[in-house]
Chains A and B, each alone.
Chain A
């Protein structure tokens, strides 16, 4: 009977009920949306470095090394010599190695010079290997493999020629226009910075910076090998045994030939999250404030309606309704509005995720969640519903007191 009374009574106050529902829905979109985004960004970052045990680079700040080598978010440090790379490759603890040479770009997308190990050993997400959506991995120094977002944004197809520019981003100042590259492959989307990268061989990078023209078949300059560069910026390592990570890290930090830094990506990510926690907490506090405002709107709207509902409550009291039933009607109403608002919010979020997913993947290589509600969010939802019911207690108590003061008949 109470549900019928709540619904029928709300139907006479449609406008204010709708506004409350919308306010609660929007605050839920903020709270759950921010939390999902935060979680997803972390998952994306973790996914990007999931297979890498160590990243070796010239000595520098560990955070900077992580950000430039994997996420292309910062400027590369100086290179490490090819002999050092060779030393790493031959080290007994090392299972696989991926050289990374940076510094060029193509229309704002970073160019990554690497070798076949990249395709063979780089892992993202839960041990997923890279795969080609079309074409094949580069074999020659004049071939390029595009990340999925690059191919999509710039509309390139296999066989297109592109020109790389010196410098990391922005409108290029110097173009390596005497060395056009041919697109031979496009990688499948991964939701990592790989999608935003342009991949060439180390030989290709060496060629465009040596001034030699590999297409014309001229021999390389004296003292320069055409197939390898002088140096690379970083080397990603996969180890035979993960337990060897710390000892190898120590060993490399004492490397004699040149000063090196070896970082454990997972550890740096944890540091990064500790650094960003302040900002995240500020966002969370903001969304909590929005929820609080929505709940205050709920309380004040129900309170304001009570004056007009005195007769309604007197009728219920006369028919035998006690405190429990009066609370049932008022708290039931606020719980119902909170529930509908929450469901509306979750639906809005779900639709937004669905609509924005392709854009987020193409623009930021961010995979949006595709869930309506995850187990992890249940406590948040429960807390919102609880807050909605508690908010209803205030007008409920007032309604009950009114009914005592009014006695049998409220004054008009």
Chain B
């Protein structure tokens, strides 16, 4: 299992009932799963827990077989760098760095991802990043522009390349297409799914839009998963 959640509970400080309450959820290696539900229902909070940025105090999260949630914050951060790629809804990039440099951010925090990308030095990292950007449809001239000069669709493709760099076992995508028009959305999803397939990465994507479900192996409604006493905000 690349991701396993057991008996996971999370509540915001001062709340009486758990906001997140998941008895069991698992993701096979290479599996693509769509998690859909209305906005504000706790999907983003769940992703913060799964990526280990927010500490889960109750329950278990295992990533690549490792008891992720019981690691120290420092080791969770290092583990995330090695094994998880993240794509946000927007503001994915450091605007003052070029596309290539943004992709190389992943390499900077994880030696394992550099090894898996076959890039041991700076030049090789840039080449690997450029290669990935090419496959996502960004040519070399576009990739060296500062990120703020790219179109929104291009920015999301750079974000996908960063998440995919070094073939992490798990890609987490938080509404990556919600700000795109239908055409761009379809292009990005096609490319993302292709590259996940190539890299052998599992994809957990959260979206309020269930129309894209046909590209995924499974589609899960968040409300069905979150079995605790949750009330939509």
Main secondary structure of the interface of A (DSSP, over half): helix
Asked if A323 lies at the interface with its beta carbon under 8 angstroms from chain B, I say yes
Q: Which residue of B lies closest to A2 (CB)?
A: B108
Chain B residue numbers with a CB within 8 Å of A323 are 73-74, 77
Chain B residue numbers with a CB within 8 Å of A316 are 94, 105
Q: Which residue of B lies closest to A400 (CB)?
A: B73
Q: How far is the CA of A4 from the CA of B89 in the complex (A)?
A: 25
Chain A residue numbers with a CB within 8 Å of B105 are 1, 315-316, 319
Q: How far is the CA of A5 from the CA of B108 in the complex (A)?
A: 11
Asked if A404 lies at the interface with its beta carbon under 8 angstroms from chain B, I say yes
Asked if B88 lies at the interface with its beta carbon under 8 angstroms from chain A, I say yes
Mark out the residues of chain A between 1 and 31 whose CB falls within 8 Å of any chain B CB in the assembled complex: 1, 4-5, 8-9, 11-12
Instruction: Determine whether the beta carbon of A8 is less than 8 Å from that of B109.
Output: no
Cβ-neighbour of A325 out of B73, B95, B109 (below 8 A): B109
State the Cβ distance, A7 to closest chain B Cβ, in Å.
9
Q: How far is the CA of A325 from the CA of B110 in the complex (A)?
A: 12
Asked if B54 lies at the interface with its beta carbon under 8 angstroms from chain A, I say yes
Chain A residue numbers with a CB within 8 Å of B106 are 319-320
Instruction: Determine whether the beta carbon of B109 is less than 8 Å from that of A403.
Output: no
Instruction: Determine whether the beta carbon of B88 is less than 8 Å from that of A408.
Output: yes
Cβ-neighbour of B78 out of A4, A314, A315, A322 (below 8 A): A322
Asked if A157 lies at the interface with its beta carbon under 8 angstroms from chain B, I say no
Cβ-neighbour of A320 out of B91, B92, B109 (below 8 A): B109
Instruction: Determine whether the beta carbon of B88 is less than 8 Å from that of A409.
Output: yes
How many chain A residues sit at the interface, stated as a range, is 20 to 34
Contacts A5-B97, A11-B96, A318-B51; is A408 near B44 (CB within 8 Å)?
Answer: yes
**Binary per-residue interface labels of chain A (344-356) against chain B in the complex, 1 for a CB within 8 Å, 0 otherwise:** 0000000000000
Instruction: Determine whether the beta carbon of A407 is less than 8 Å from that of B101.
Output: no
Chain A residue numbers with a CB within 8 Å of B45 are 407
Instruction: Determine whether the beta carbon of B109 is less than 8 Å from that of A319.
Output: yes
Residues of B within 8 A of A (CB): 44-45, 47-48, 51, 53-55, 73-74, 77-78, 80-82, 86, 88-89, 91-97, 101, 104-106, 108-110, 162, 172, 174
Can you list 23 residue pairs at the A/B interface with Cβ under 8 Å? A1-B105, A4-B97, A4-B101, A5-B94, A8-B94, A11-B96, A12-B95, A12-B96, A312-B94, A314-B91, A317-B53, A317-B77, A319-B109, A320-B110, A322-B74, A322-B78, A322-B81, A323-B74, A407-B44, A407-B53, A408-B47, A408-B48, A408-B172
Residues of A within 8 A of B (CB): 1, 4-5, 8-9, 11-12, 311-312, 314-325, 403-404, 407-409
Q: List 9 additional A-B contacts (Cβ < 8 Å) besides A315-B105, A318-B51.
A: A1-B104, A1-B105, A318-B80, A320-B110, A322-B78, A407-B45, A407-B53, A408-B54, A408-B172
